[in-house]
Amino acid sequence: MAAGCVPFALLVEECWEAAAAPLLQRLAQGCEGEAASSGAVVVAGAPVASNGGGAKSASVVEAEAGPAPGAEASGGAAPGVGAIGGNVGPGAGARALSAPRTGSPFGDLPMFVATRAQVEELTGFQRTRGPLAAFLRPALLPLEDLLARARRVAVLEGVTNYTNIGAIFRSAAALGVDAVLLDPTCHDPLYRRAARVSMGTVFQVPWGRISALGQEGGGLAQLAAAGFQTVALALADGAIPISDERLKGVERLALVLGNEEHGLAPATIAACDHTAIIPMAHGVDSLNVAAASAVAFWETRAC
């Protein structure tokens, strides 16, 4: 679990309660010593084994959840958990969750059991599977902390496709990128689609926001001050191959990737120390930003 990403409530569909128990126990063990605090939340589906044996991930929804004052637990709930009751809909969770009894795998952490219909009604999604967990949104780390011991970072400018954001995080986790930095125009990595595509790595890879890149005193200047060389991935004259030895030998390197339609801004490219391309074959001009990130992460990995 990512530091500061603390669950405060669990929702388990009745037919998944037994199958989800081992996963919930592991999650509970990972939360020992962590204290919840108030704040915005995301509700995230945890991957569990399907009836067919494959791993599937529940939908991730943004909602608020909490016990309803004076609500009574349903008599059909399993011992140690609460139950869902009342008329609910997307975003109405705070008025629909009854107070659970004690004894869940998480000690004082509430766990609720619901029918398939109740889960669908509460989340607004028909394809949820297994357990759902409501997490307090973690506070973003300061840029200085993210860069303190990093050697390879990914920097995103204007990336707004949630599938691409999730795929970039998954590649970053797999290929040794120490942090992902998003400029003010990038969309939220904790949005349900991004979190699902990332296979949960948005909660694993350290990430944060960085100032607009190309402006004077902006994000690229902050990276330079921290000792990073920057390389823009762009189709530009004079660009070197991403496999160039000059990039592999850099101690601290920031890979700068642009959005899906226009790529990096000209001012950003001009302000980077290097510009690199991934050589293409068969007349293909470029790769999707998520695919390009994986190639770049591998080729420039720290030794």
pLDDT value at position 113?
A: 72
Range of the domain at 231: 143-299
Q: Does residue 284 form part of some domain?
A: yes
- 73 and 194 share a domain? no
| Chosen domain end from 116, 136, 156 | 136
Query: What is the rounded CA–CA span in Å between residue 18 and residue 16?
Result: 6
Q: Does residue 2 form part of some domain?
A: no
Q: Does residue 101 form part of some domain?
A: yes
Q: Does residue 1 form part of some domain?
A: no
- 163 and 47 share a domain? no
| Chosen domain end from 118, 136, 154 | 136
- 218 and 153 share a domain? yes
- Alpha-carbon dihedral of residues 209, 210, 211, 217, nearest 10 degrees? 160
pLDDT value at position 127?
A: 64
| Chosen domain end from 136, 167, 196 | 136
- 108 and 174 share a domain? no
- 123 and 216 share a domain? no
pLDDT value at position 120?
A: 76
Q: What is the CATH number of the domain that holds 165?
A: 3.40.1280.10
Query: In the chain, at which residue ranges do the beta strands (DSSP E only) sit?
Result: 7-13, 41-45, 48-49, 55-56, 82-83, 111-114, 131-136, 152-156, 179-182, 207-209, 229-233, 240-241, 253-257, 274-277
- 224 and 263 share a domain? yes
pLDDT tens digits for 246-269? 898 899 999 999 998 899 999 999
Which residues of the chain have a pLDDT value below 50? 1-4, 30-104
pLDDT tens digits for 14-51? 665 565 556 555 555 544 433 333 222 223 333 222 22
pTM confidence score: 0.69
- 147 and 129 share a domain? no
pLDDT value at position 8?
A: 55
Location of structure tokens 């942090």: 179
- 204 and 273 share a domain? yes
Q: Does residue 84 form part of some domain?
A: yes
pLDDT value at position 110?
A: 66
pLDDT value at position 268?
A: 96
- 66 and 188 share a domain? no
Location of structure tokens 């004894």: 103
- 167 and 292 share a domain? yes
pLDDT value at position 35?
A: 35
Query: What is the rounded CA–CA span in Å between residue 153 and residue 252?
Result: 8
Which sign, positive or negative, has the C-alpha torsion 211, 214, 215, 217?
positive
Q: Does residue 240 form part of some domain?
A: yes
